[in-house]
Amino acid sequence: MPPTSIGVDLREEGVVVEYLDGRTTLYRGVPESAEGTVTAGPGKETHVLVTDPTETEGVMTYVNDYKTDDEILEESGVGRVIVEDGERDEVFPGVIVGREGQRNEVVADPEVAGGRVFVFVEDGWTEGSYEIVEGPEDGLDAHR
């Protein structure tokens, strides 16, 4: 399911996302800087947000989300991609998602993506926020 452009507000307390249906979500905390790759632990929800150059809009995709109803995704503007173990998919230019065993992996190069790349990893107890600040040392082609 492809995403649609949604509102983004970068604040001191975190990243606020405004969905098409008017709801908002705050991903708490200043995102931790990551170089090239973010790997989520087993059982963690993985959300990828790529902003436009103005940092006021972006597109968000849920990786391997089996819980959210299709209608909710359509109304919110959030996309979804399902990748099987060992597979990879370029969900946006410069942003590749994959699955290794039970773990989702996001590899990105913000210069290619044309904006900031955030990865939010959460479950019922914890949440982590990351910003991929530069591409992988071995380049994106090594991860396609």
pLDDT in tens, 2-58: 899 999 999 999 999 999 999 999 999 999 999 999 999 998 999 999 999 999 999
Give the DSSP letter of residue 142: G
The domain locations on the chain are: 3-140
Across the range 59-84, mean pLDDT stands at 95
What is the spatial distance between Cα 68 and Cα 78, in angstroms, rounded to a whole number?
Answer: 10
pLDDT at 65: 94
- Structure pTM? 0.95
Task: Using alpha carbons, list the distances in angstroms from residue 120 to 41, 83, 141, 142.
Answer: 12, 17, 24, 23
Distance CA(38)–CA(104), nearest Å, equals 8
Q: What is the pLDDT of residue 88?
A: 96
Block residue for tokens 């990893």: 121
